[in-house]
Homo-oligomer: A and B are copies of this chain.
């Protein structure tokens, strides 16, 4: 048996024994995740967070193995070897479709397709991932796809929720991993304890009453990570700037700059020209192509592009208008801000940037209504009855019922006070 052992800063050792999983890790598509940062632009704010998707995907697979081992210990019959392989492959590949800067450019490079599209495409092939799965067992790539999308018979749907739910191996890994790398203590929770309270009841993965404090910790961890790390205003500023650079380059290409004047790395051409590309083209790009391009564009003939790229690389970021995000930014305020920017010589399309976290928002905990994709977290009491978490935890109830959204405007530093003044004066 050729097992592979990875030393991991979060889980210590990750041992991969199943030969299928070893071969999946070795595919170029999976190795490519080493070149895609997990948190996009967040390393600008938290310099420690330079980690790639590679470790997270290994970690999610590892956590899946632990969860299944726990369920098997709880009831030996619930997980057989085939199911374990399928679930671990799904956990390993759940983010395989991510592209440059992960969520940071996801809907910008290929506006009509998110990373889930590319995951599906990689599974369907042509790709080495597809080949490895199908050569192992015919139809396996489709089965993995079903686990990821949830198109499963009712009694197996819990498998899907373990890779894409409120209590899934994705979150369990990324909270701990991002907390470690950022240095934020907030994301920590007791993974061993959480897992050791899990059970499979009525076809759902639930936790026992004893696990409520740990489940609270887990949801709080998410809450804090969102507001302290993922939505940190400096990270948001850098992400908006990243997108602005790309948008400007696309604009120029649309106006005919491709091939005449603007230096464009060949790998990026289709995406800048068409906002789309073939699977092969998509698999060829990663953070390095984008950063290489940005570095070149500092010397671009177009002054806006050159300035934006330099600002991005040297971290001269736009400033948030408000210290705390607001529930919403009225259209009039945007108009005012754009006017001020324009008058001071900043093209508002690239320098006056509206951010709505509700656009990207992800509830750290919701009492799920749309039960298929995001079923609620359930605790089972001493009599076997299932209770939704926010019903038995006042802490969670406090978090679950408040709307979560926030908006802000990011503008050049020299415009900020004037805009603020005019907004306060009512326009």
A interface with B by C-beta (< 8 Å):
6-10, 12-13, 26, 28, 31, 34-35, 43-44, 46-48, 50-52, 54-55, 58, 180-186, 190, 192-193, 196, 213, 220, 224, 228, 263, 265-267, 284, 287-289, 291-292, 295-296, 313-315, 323, 382, 394-395, 397-399, 402
Contact = CB atoms under 8 A, between A and B. Distances in A.
Given A47-B52, A289-B292, A394-B402, 18 more contacts: A7-B183, A9-B48, A9-B181, A9-B183, A10-B48, A34-B44, A34-B47, A47-B55, A48-B55, A50-B50, A185-B190, A186-B213, A213-B224, A213-B228, A267-B296, A292-B292, A394-B399, A397-B398
Contact of A50 (B6, B52, B193): B52
A295 B291 contact: no
A193 B47 CA distance: 19
Contact of A291 (B52, B193, B288, B313): B288
B192 A12 contact: yes
Give the oligomeric copy count.
4
B291 A28 contact: no
A339 B291 CA distance: 42
Chain A interface mostly: helix
Nearest to A316: B26
A251 to B, nearest CB: 23
A211 to B, nearest CB: 12
8 contacts: A8-B47, A8-B183, A213-B224, A266-B296, A284-B295, A292-B292, A394-B399, A397-B398
Contact of A182 (B9, B10, B183, B184): B9
A295 B220 CA distance: 42
Contacts of A52: 47, 50
A46 B47 CA distance: 19
